[in-house]
Structures are given as structure tokens and as C-alpha cells.
Amino acid sequence: MALSVDSALYRWQHLGAKSAPQTVAESTPLLFSVRDRLKLDLNKWRIVFSNNGRQQRSWDQATRLYAGNKIQTTKYTWLTFLPKNLFRQFHRLANVYFLFLVVLNWFPQMEVFHREITMIPLIVVLLASMIKDATEDYKKYQFDKMINSSKSRVYDKKDRAYIEKCWKDVRVGDFVQLQCNETIPADILLLYSSDQNGICHLETANLDGETNLKQRRVVMGFSRQNTSFEPEFFQNTIICEMPNNDLNKFKGYMEQPNHERIGFNIESLLLRGCTIRNTEVAIGIVIYAGHETKAMLNNNGPRYKRSKIERRMNVDIFLCVGLLFTMCLVGSIGHGIWSGSFPEHPPYDVPDENGNFLSPVLSGFYMFLTMIILLQVLIPISLYVSIELVKLGQVFLIHNDIDLYDEEADLPIQCRALNITEDLGQIQYIFSDKTGTLTENKMVFRRCTVDGHEFSHQENAKRLETYKELDLEDEDFAKLQHFTLPPINIERPATYQRTMRPLRRSQSARAHFQGHTRSRSLGRRDSNQSQVAFSSTIEKDVTPDSRLLRRVREAALRSENLSPFIHMKTPTSLTDFFLALAICNTVVVSTTTEPRQRVTVPPPIKPSGITLEKIHQIFQRLKQVSLSQSFSSSQSSSDLGASFSAKNTEEQLATLDCCDNDDGCCDSSRGAGLQEKSNTDIGSASLDEVFQSATHGTLPTDFCYEAESPDEAALVYAAQAYSFTLVSRTPEQVTVRLPQGTLLTFDILYTLGFDSVRKRMSVVVRHPLTKEIIVYTKGADSVIMDLLEDPGKADTNAERRMKRIKDKTQKHLDYYARDGLRTLCIAKKVLSEDDFQRWANFRQEAEAAIDNRDELLMETAQHLETKLTLLGATGIEDRLQDGVPDTIAALREAGVQIWVLTGDKQETAVNIAYSCKLLDQRDTVFTINTENKETCESLLNLTLEEVRKNYEVEKPQRKLFDFISASLPASETPGPEFGLVIDGRTLDIILQGGLEERFLELARLCRSVLCCRSTPLQKSMVVKLVRRQLKVMTLSIGDGANDVSMIQAGDVGIGISGQEGMQAVMASDFAISRFKHLKKLLLVHGHWCYARLAKMVIYFFYKNVCYVNLLFWYQFFCGFSGNTMIDYWQMIFFNLFFTSLPPLVFGILDRDVSAETLLSLPELYKNGQNSEIYKLSTFIITMLDAFYQSLICFFVPYLAYKDSDIDVFSFGNPINTVSLLTILLHQALEMKTWTLFHWITIIGSVVIYLIFSLIYNAVCVACNPPTNPYWIMEKQLSEPTFYFLCLITPVIALLPRYFIFALRGTFGASLILKAQQLDKLPKGQRDCEIQRLRSRKQTTSDAPVASPAPNEDLDQSIGHLCFSPFLHPAASVPQADAGSQGLLASEVNPLRNWAHEEGYYFFNRWAEEESTDSSTGPLSGCYTQAPSGLTSPGQEGGKLTKVKATGFKSGSHRRSVLVLPET
């Protein structure tokens, strides 16, 4: 490291040490004093000095070490192109091999061809690659030039003003002034914002694809500035971490002249490539520039991988090298034998200058090297270049497929990895994320539970069904919604626009500098209107539940003390619940007009026209209704009677209410429900009258909510549906309009953001009316439930009520999860002033800390979020993407194993799996959840034994069936289907406890595997485990940043450019916008790419072996002298020109089966999975065929011209011609699609060969003395023998191959051949045949499952497992009576329950019929009277036992085995 920089750093530290020690306040003990200051390591920390003249020397010295802001994504320059490109190309062993042959041919003893001629193939190959690389690099150069020439306003210390500079001239330490809608040129630390609260809004779409706004804050201490920022007075020194690619983490501190330190983090860093929004002016200092910025460090460009075919090809090239050495060895030995047959040295054996002849050993060695040069074409030098060109063509066709284009998002497929297209056709395992990948990631508010009361929102469910069926436009759908919304008429005041304080957001939201993070801009930002994230019609328009809406209005009236009859001092739980939904978030409020204006100050409220007398009259009519509804039992069945649309779930919730009712009020609650129903009309009408008067003409309801996550937006829109409207938000205050029209402005004291560790977020506010300090918290139920206040021993009614609410809410959450909904719990906590002040001091210390800052902040958050009071919970639906079930079903038919790796709850994941056909209702599902290694191992062994037993039962049936009927292959006969569900804790035990082999052995036999509650690291570990241990081709697909490691671990990584940003896309090989595109990408393009490239590679090997063998056979007739019967130029051009184009066209355009047939018969994909086209056996057969054809092409002309007096080239010209025709006709036999390009290349190759030969033979008088090819082609074209040879030789050579093709199509035709025959039929007849094949297959696959044999086998297996030594001795269960076939399985033997000290192993099997009587409650399989012989230790016989029935659905035929941990 440079001494000058060391001295600058030393001087800076030394000056600090001279100063007086810092006086540390008692409230901030975590701050370092100067004496304890750490000596910085310049390899870990970066020191930034400001470029304002005050620290000029230090700035000059430090800046030399830091990168400038000029970026260069090109690989080469004008000077380095030639050496660098040649160096990269000679990394290929084939090029090194041919360079060695070129050098070898320059030695006279081994010269076979003219020295210049030997160089031509290598030069052509290198030149083709150079042209391609130069073209690509020049495009990058032009783009870099445009980026580097962009302008920004940078502070100039001489002029003391901001002047325009190019981006490339910006340096670390410069002050940069940014304006609204300007793109950030470097990573900048925010020091000033025109926003009065020190907030700057960013749009990170160019960086990660997210359209929602992010907030960045000015560094603490700079946020309260009454005047504009003056860079010349800035004297601080900045110390931060070294450049890295983590977009979510950044830490450092700023040391002031008085040695005080101010910490900062990622919330103060503006990243290069982002765009300033809603902020007029922002000023910052450059921290990282150019290639050291986080955006550039994340830009790795296209990924280069080695495909499976290339790995196979490299092995075959070594086989060809072995074959070449064998042939050369035969040649050298033959030359020795030939030479030894002469009694004297032959006249052509010339001695050296001393008269000595070469020894036989040395002569044989020279001949060995000569034969290598002669037979060098055996190694296909042009194969690599041809493969690159073919893959570029394949990528072009995939990219331009209109079926893979998302019109809504204006996104085509992106092919980021250019060299693994054929791997798409060989995938055996798919690992998929759930949220945003299988689902829309459009969060729709679906239902909620408040205070233990469940509200089903059936009206909203009907709206969603209407939306799904009609697919209405936004405007029409809004009109439709007008009739279902509650009758609240709200008009826009005339003074509304004048009272706003707007911050402009320009219409032109698209920046021009996104190319460094991804190759193509997102089309949804090309429109004139800037897109708002998470604001589609289906997400915004929530239809409220009528019962909940009425209760909300009553609670709101009571809380505001409008009624003279009901007096409440504090808001009800309903009010708190919806206030939490509206407040506990980071949503930015803006207007819906363009350009959008951020709402920071609420408008004044116009006084309502309602009078106290009017309220009195209304409440006289409402008195009885309100009282009966307010004080009726909280266990009313009417609350839960309509909670679920499914009939069985209705009964479940009603039953739960009655069971949990301590007051025995089921009957009375029904009466209350009837009374409620009878008074609905008058109650609703009167309340509507109140709210029409109270809210008339107050505020517009149209606000634009810009949220950071879809969950936040869904909850805010849900609160708005119940008239709790978020009106404005600043960092200090948030304003909510209540249902009666009142505006409440809460002071925001602290906001604790969401993180993946806490799995919750909180906001601390001061209530404007009660002045209470309230903490509103929302988060995952698995976390919030553990943070609730302990009700103690339930001595008081209030504590009993809290416990009852918690239990009922948990039950509702379980049913939400089983319906596939995402659940969130809402809670609150009231703090005293003293408690809050103590916590606030602790929080300030943590924020000011330099070391362990993140850990301290986490500790303060966890300290606050305890002893919460549960308000309720929400169920948000993440709808399945269109086409997901069909895509998964097709991939399953194609033989692809699909695993889902998700961080979601187990119940939610299982139900999504059933919805998308990942699991079938007839499957036996094993659920393994445990936290103990021994238990996990025992459960894996038991489950594996069960699965194996069922497979063994099925095997004799398949063999017998195959023996009787040969029409159905064994692979099509369905076996038992199993599913495996496992959680993250169990997965961690398996991965760390050495149980991987048992797990994989079980997973291989399962239809599908679901790994729930998985971390990103576990996802990648599972993918690597399967790929390495099972030696299979894997594909990983995801859409979020948490899927990046999984995507990179797969053989093929696919990112979905959804609503979670573009980080998954940037790490992927291919990027699609919808999961359904995976169907065509794999089944069609994957199949085509594999079939084309596999056949092309094999054809190249065949072509070269066939041609080079002609020279080898000739050696037997020329004394193994290394001579040839074909002209050198003809030999060189044979591979470079005459036979090069047809394989390229074939590899790009050939289609063995049409796309429609491939999609209709997914089984065709197995052709690539099994590598049926290109494997060792096909390679060997092709080599044997090449040897046979070369024999025919050589010896048929040899026999024709035997005993004639023609010269060598006259003998070689017919051989060269018939071999060309044979090789081209061989290619024609392989072609299944004939287009104009195919005809042109095949016929054109022959024409080019003839034209070249005629011209070359006419002008070459003495090209190759002593023998020359002058006028040979012209002479032979006039001889009938030549035409006869050109006709008969290819026929004889290709007859065996054609004969085998004919036999294969007649007897035992493969599925591919049947599909090709179907393609020849008319469309209508073809569709009928495909439908008949599918229906026959469906009938066959359904038959064995419907038979009782598998059920009996399962019963026997379960009975066998009862006596396992792992299980409790009391677990022996007698088999159920076989006579009870008409009953449900749960009625015959409703529960088998074994207890173990480490975990429970539950077997619960049922098969519900569609005709099940509604009186049979679904809880019969979940709540049963356990037999006395089945009680666990410490339990009495007959005690009520609970089994969690995972993924329960009505009308299913499902056998389920659940393995649950001890609780």
C-alpha cells in the first residue's frame, strides 16, 4: 500500500488522538471514546475525505486507491483484443491440439500437407470466434460510452458551485446534487434532502425491478437543516466498509472535528442506478464509484456453464483421440512392416547428408506423427464453433417465441446463459419457490378474525370469483363494485386540491441507465404513467363483510361518544384492529392524479351536517338492536356460521364455537343470530343514514398507496374498505380518517421495520385523544402468539376471555392456513411514559453504537415487542398464477419430479400443493416434523419401510400386466403415489445429522416433496444434495432475493421477474414472467434444443470419422507412407464449407415433433431425460456406421476402377464426391422438418462443391506436383462410371440405416415415432388420436388406484408398523372389520395414535366419498375418543385426542400419514 496514504491516515488518526477525550453522556454508554478508538485496517475499512478543499491533501492521496466512476463492461481494448482473445480461445484443448499439428507439419520429416494449408482450418475457426467476440464487445463499448457521458451536477471547490460533469469524471469524496427524477451516478451518502423531514424517496426498479418506492434518510445530525447544505463547510471524515455486493447492508460512521461519531447504515445510502422520486433536491457525498458500486458488483453479466451434452462430448473426444492413436499406431507398424519387406532400401527412401538411413524405430515414430497430421480431421475442430453458432440461433428463436411473451408486463423471455439451452430438455428435478412463483404475489384481503369472531367476507369471495370468470377491465370492474359497496356517498370537496402540499413525481419514470443490471428494461415502465406497485384492481377493491361493517360503524360511533346511550372511554378492539392495519406499515400516500403528488399534510375537514337531535332520533330506533348486538355472547354461531364457504368448514367452525363456549350459549346465540337477522334491514339503513351524514363531503377516497410489500398494501386497502382510510404519512405523523369522518393524527415515535429474523414489524404512536403510547405490531402467527401476555391461571373473567380469544384465533389461523391463506396476527401494547422513556434511551444508544449495532437494535426491538394483547388476525390470499395446475400436471406427465421449497407455513404450502395438482387427493402424504435426530432417523426408516412395501406389492401386478399385454409399457403402469412434507427444523437435522441418504432414498419414491419453513441456505443445500448424490439434472425456479442461492445451485436456474424485484433474474440463466411459460420452455424448446444439438454433435463425429477413414483405408495401398488420394484443398474445404452449413441449419431449425404434439403428449419429454439420442451406446453405433459407410465409399470406387490405369487424384475424386453425397444424404435422413433453408443448404453444398472443383481443376495446372488435379472433374463428369458410382454408392452405404429406420417404425415404434406419425395426419384426426391416447392412459392410471388392493396393503403395512420397536408397546391395534366398507375410514378406525417420548407418530387414513352426508362432521377424523389401549404414558383412557389433519379437503380420496413432534 502506498506510503502517502498510510501517512494521510496516520495524520488523521494522530490529530484525533491529540484532541481532548470525548465526554460521553450517561445515556449513550455504547459510544467509543477517543482512547478506545480502534486502529483501522485499510483492507477492511474505507476512509472518505471530502473534495471541498479543506482536506485536499488527504483527498488526493486516498482517491488514488479508489476506482473512478468510469465503467467498462467490455473485455477488450483496441490494443489488447488480439492477444487476449487468442489467449481465451487457446484455453480450449482442441485449439491447442490443432496448433500442435500445425507446428508439427512444419518439420520436413513429418510434412503431409503444404505448411500454409495446414494452418487454414485453425485460422478460420479462430477468425470466426474473433468476429463474434468483437461484435459483442463493440456493442458493450457503445453502451458504456453513453453511460459515461451522462451528466450530473458536482460541486466544484474552485467555483464554489455545482457544475455539470460527466459521470466518468465523478470521484469518491465529490458532492453531488440530485434532482427529482434524476438517476444516481454513484453510491452516495445522503447529507441533505429538500424534504423537511430529511426523507428522500428512491425508485429501485433499475436495480432490482421493484416498482415500489424506498425511503432513505439523511445521516443523523444533518436532517434538521433550516438552510441549504453548504459543502465548503463540511469537515467530517467518513469511515465505512469496503465495497461489496450486498444491496441490503451498509455500515459506517462519520467523525466530526470534535471527535464525535455519528453512525449510519443502508438507510442513508443512495445506490447507483436508482432514481430520485418525490424529492426536489438531494445532496450527498460519493462513497463508492464505478465498478466498486453495489450495482456494478452485482452485475455479473451472462452466466457460462458447461451443459450435460458438452460434458458427454468431451468424453467422446477423448475416445476419438484414442481411436486416432490406434489408427496412427497401425499406420506406423504397417509402415515398418512394409519397409521391412524390401531386401534393400527402396529408391524413395533417401539417406541423410552422411549417407545414413533412419532406423526402423525412428522411422516408425516419424510415421506415427505423420499419421496424426494426416488423420487430424478425426477430431472435429469446427464442432465448438458450430455449437456456439447453433446455440445463438436457438436462443434467438426462444427469445422471439410469442407464447413466452407476457403482454401485460411487456416482458419476453430472457436467455442470460447462452450455452445451456439443451439442458432445458433433460431436466429431471424441479425445485420451486411458492410465493410469487406458483402464486401471483398479488395479496388479496380474504377474511379476518377479531376478538375471536371470524368474518368470512363472502361478498368479497363472490367478487373474486366474478373477477376470475369475467376478467373485467379495471373501469368496468369498478362500476360493478359500485353496486356491492356499502352505501356511503362521499364527494370530493372543491378545496381539496388547494390544501395539499404536493411533491411532484414526474410522468417520465423511466431512466436510461439500467443496462448494467439487466439487459432489457421492464416494459411496464415504458408507459406514460408510472406504475404503482401492488395496486391492481383485484388488490384494491375489497368488498367489506356486512356484519363486520355494521360492527365497525357501531364501535366507531361509541368510541367518538356520539351516542347518548352508550359511553365508552377507550376504543374497542375493532377500532384498534383497523387502526393497526392502517398505521402499522411504511406506506407512502399520494394522489391518484398524474403527476402523482405525495400527501404529507391532511386537508381540513368540512363540518358534517348531522345534528345531535338527528343522532338522538336515529339511536332511538337503534337502541334495542345495538344493545342486543353489543352485549350478546361472543360465541355467537352467526359470527362463524358463514365463516367458510365450504360446507364442511362451516360445520367445523360452528362446532368449535359450541365446544369452546363456557356459558353454554349455543342455543341462545342462535336466537341472537335470528334476532340480528330480523333487524338487519332497519339497522343497516339507519347506520348508513348516520354515516352518509357524517362523512358527506369530507374527503376523497381515492388515494395512491405505494407500499414496500404486497401484504402491506392489501391490509391498507382492507382498512380503507371499512372507512379507516390512511390519509397522509410523514416520518413524524400519520393521519387516519375514521368511519364517521373524523381525522386522527397520531404522532409516530418509533418504527421498527420488518426483518426475516423477528418476522414482524411494530410502530410506536401516541394516540391523539387518550395521549396513550401504543405499540401496534403485526407479524407471523408463529411469532406473535409466543409474545402475547400470559393470562396466568385464568382467575379473572378478563384473563379467561383473553385465553379464549387466543385459542379461537389460533383455530381460525389453522383453518386459514389450510385454505391456503397467508396469515398475519395483529396485536397491541400500551406503554407508560416511564417505560417508554427507558426503552427510548436504550434504543438511542443502540442507534448511536458503532460496533454490534445490528445486534443491539435487534435486542431493543425484542425487548419492546413482549406482553402483547391480541387484536385479531387476517387471512390474505395469494392467488395461484394462471396455468400453474396445468403446467405442473404436464411436467409430472413428462416424468419431472417437482419439489417445493418455501418459507411459508406447512398448512399453507400443503393446500397450495393440492390446489396446483402437485399433490393428488389419492396420494398418501407423509408429514415428518421433529427436533430430535434419533426420532428423525426412526421416522425416516419407518416411512421408508412403508413406501417400499407398497412398491413391492405393486411390482408383481406390473410384470403380470406387461406379460399379458404388450401395448402398455411398464413405465406407463401407475404405481403407488406418495407425498412427503417436511419442515425446516427436521430438514436441518437431516442435513447436519448424516441422514441425507435415507432422506433421498425416501424422497426418490415420493410423488412430490414439500419442504416448508425453509431458509435460503437450506434451499440451496437441498438442491446441491439432490444434484450431487442422485446425479440428476436439476432446475431451480424462484422470484425473490431469498431464492438466489437456490437458483445458482441448480444445473439450470430460472428467475421470475415478478413483484419481488429482479435479484432472482440477475442470478438466473433464464428469466420468465409467468410460471406457465415453463411448460413450453421445457416441453417444446427444451426437447427441440436437446434433440437438435444431440443429433448435430453425433453427426459431426460421424462425418469426421467417416471421411478420415477414407484416408486410412488408402494407407493399406500406398505402403502406409502418409500420402493421400484427395487434393489438399478439397480435404480442407470439405469440413469448412462443403459440409458445414447443413448441420448448422439442422441444429437451429429442425423439429422432430411439432409443438402442439409435444404439449399434448408430455411423455415425449422423457426422450431427453433419458438421453436416448446422445449416449455411449448411440455414439458407438454411430462410429460403427461411419466405419461401414467409409468402407463402402472407398471400396466400391476401388472395385470399379480396379486394374485400370487412372492416376491417384482421378481415383480419389470419385471417392471424395460419393462420400460428400453420402454424408449429406445421411443428414437428410435425420432431418424431420424441411424448410427452404434446409433445401438451400443441402443442394447448395453439392453445387458449391461442383463449382469449386470445376474451377479449381481448371486453373490448377501445377498446384501439387508431381501429381496435380488439372481437369479431373471436367473429365469424369463426361464418364458414365462416375454417375453410376454417385448413384449406387450412397444407396449401398445408407441402406442399413434406412432399413433399421423402417423396421423401427413398423415394429415396436417408440413414442417419438408415433408422435411423428401423428404429425402427418390432418389436424382434426391428429387431435382425435391424441385425445384417444390420453384417455386410454388416464383410464389405465385410474384403475389400480380405485381398486381396494392398495388400501388393504396400506392397512396391513400400518398394522405391521404397530409392532415396530420404535413405537410404544400399547400401539398394537386390531384391524378394522372388513364388513364396514360403506363407512368412512375415520368411522371404522378413526384414529391410530402412538406416543413416544421424543415424538408422536400418527397414522390417520380416510377416504371420504362425494356422497357423504352433511351430518357427518369432518371433525370425525380429528376429534375422537381414543381407545383405552392407545393412551400415551401419563394419560387416562378415553381422553380427547387431537390430530392435525393436514390439507383436509371435502370430497377427497386421500390416505394421509402424519408424523408430528411431541408438543
Is 75 annotated to bind a ligand? Reply is no
Residue in the structure block whose three cell numbers are 482473445: 85
**Phi, psi (degrees; rounded to nearest 5) at 870:** -75, 125
User: Which one, of 748, 754, 879, 736, lies nearest residue 824 by Cα?
Assistant: 754
In the chain, the amino acid numbered 1339 is: T
CA atoms of 999 and 1029, how far apart (whole Å): 11
Exposure string (b/e) for 1266-1293, b if CB count within 10 Å is 16 or more? eebbbebbeebeeeeebeebbeebbeeb
Is 979 annotated to bind a ligand? Reply is no
Query: Where is 806: in which H helix or E strand?
Result: helix 797-818
CA atoms of 1036 and 1069, how far apart (whole Å): 10
Query: Where is 776: in which H helix or E strand?
Result: strand 773-779
User: Which one, of 1029, 1055, 1052, lies nearest residue 1041 by Cα?
Assistant: 1055
Q: CA-CA-CA-CA torsion for 879, 882, 886, 889, nearest 10 degrees?
A: -40
Contact 395, 418 (CB under 8 A): yes
Q: CA-CA-CA-CA torsion for 832, 837, 839, 844, nearest 10 degrees?
A: 160
Is 1019 annotated to bind a ligand? Reply is yes
Residue in the structure block whose three cell numbers are 488522538: 17
Nearest-5° Cα angle at 1030, 1027 to 1035: 35
Is 712 annotated to bind a ligand? Reply is yes
Q: In Å, what is the CA distance from 450 to each residue of 716, 824, 840?
A: 16, 12, 30
User: Residue 752 corresponds to which cell in the numbers above?
Assistant: 421498527
**Bridge partners for 1035 per DSSP:** 430, 1052
DSSP string, 965-993: -SSS-GGGS----EEEEEEHHHHHHHHHT
> For 857-903, what is the HEC assignment?
HHHHHHHHCCCEEEEEEEEEEEEECCCHHHHHHHHHHCCCEEEEECC
Is 771 annotated to bind a ligand? Reply is no
Is 902 annotated to bind a ligand? Reply is yes
CA atoms of 37 and 670, how far apart (whole Å): 72
CA atoms of 1082 and 891, how far apart (whole Å): 9
Is 1042 annotated to bind a ligand? Reply is yes
**Phi, psi (degrees; rounded to nearest 5) at 818:** -70, -20
Instruction: End-to-end CA distance of the chain: give it in Å, rounded.
Output: 59
187, 195, 208, 433: the active-site residue: 433
Alpha-helical regions (H) of 78-164: 81-89, 93-105, 115-148
CA atoms of 976 and 1353, how far apart (whole Å): 11
Residue in the structure block whose three cell numbers are 388547494: 498
State whether residue 710 is helix, strand or coil. helix
Is 446 annotated to bind a ligand? Reply is no
Is 368 annotated to bind a ligand? Reply is no
Return the DSSP state at 1360.
H
Is 479 annotated to bind a ligand? Reply is no
Is 471 annotated to bind a ligand? Reply is no
What does DSSP say about strands 281-288 and 821-831: parallel, antiparallel, or unpaired? unpaired
1150 among known catalytic residues: no
Sheet strands side by side (includes 725-729):
453-455, 439-450, 869-880, 821-831, 773-779, 760-766, 743-752, 733-737, 725-729
In the chain, the amino acid numbered 1026 is: V
Is 1039 annotated to bind a ligand? Reply is yes
Q: How many residues does the chain have?
A: 1463
Is 822 annotated to bind a ligand? Reply is yes
Contact 457, 544 (CB under 8 A): yes
Is 434 annotated to bind a ligand? Reply is yes
In the chain, the amino acid numbered 209 is: G
State whether residue 264 is helix, strand or coil. strand
Is 258 annotated to bind a ligand? Reply is no
Q: Which residues are catalytic?
A: 433
Binding annotation for ATP: 433-435, 712, 754, 778, 822, 902-904, 1013, 1019, 1042-1043
Binding annotation: 433-435, 712, 754, 778, 822, 902-904, 1013, 1019, 1039, 1042-1043
